[in-house]
Amino acid sequence: MINELPGFLAAVPPQALRKEKEKARALRRTQWWRRQLDKGRCHYCGRPVARELLTMDHVVPLARGGRSTRGNLVPCCKDCNNKKKYLVPIEWEKYMERLGRDADRTAVTETESGP
């Protein structure tokens, strides 16, 4: 099965996805993951988040060839996880930069036109 994503093709067989998801579930039960949650911060936005509200995210998504390893799993808030979806780090950074520019542009427009 080939998963087609914008600008990227990844041949990820369903059995490989299942195996990686199983590994992620196993890692959720480890002391290592509990320590990650205890930090109480989203890896992406840096906001403090209650431990029970943090999700597990694959920095390089499984659909993009990522694996369920300690080096590829981070705690993040649901908002960032939902927005990031299948983006790899460089795409996520560009997305966040664009959001920042758009927010700056909106603030300038609102300031110029008054409240």
What confidence tens digit (pLDDT) does each residue in 65-82 have? 999 999 999 999 999 999
Taking Cα atoms as reference points, which of 65, 103, 58 lies closest to residue 84?
58
Q: Is the pLDDT of residue 87 over 90?
A: yes
Confidence of residue 12 (pLDDT cuts 50, 70, 90): confident
* Residue 76 lies inside a defined structural domain of this protein: yes
Whichever domain contains 21, its CATH number is 1.10.30.50
C-beta separation of 44 from 76 below 8 A: yes
The average pLDDT across 31-46 equals: 97
* Residue 75 lies inside a defined structural domain of this protein: yes
* Residue 67 lies inside a defined structural domain of this protein: yes
DSSP one-letter string for 44-100: TT--B--GGG-EEEESS-GGGT---SGGGEEEE-HHHHHHHTT--HHHHHHHHHHHH
Q: Is the pLDDT of residue 93 over 80?
A: yes
Expressed as residue numbers, the domain containing 8 is 2-86
Comparison of pLDDT for 104 and 48, the residue scoring more = 48
Confidence of residue 24 (pLDDT cuts 50, 70, 90): very high
User: DSSP code of 3?
Assistant: E
Total structural domains within the chain: 1
Q: What is the pTM of this model?
A: 0.76
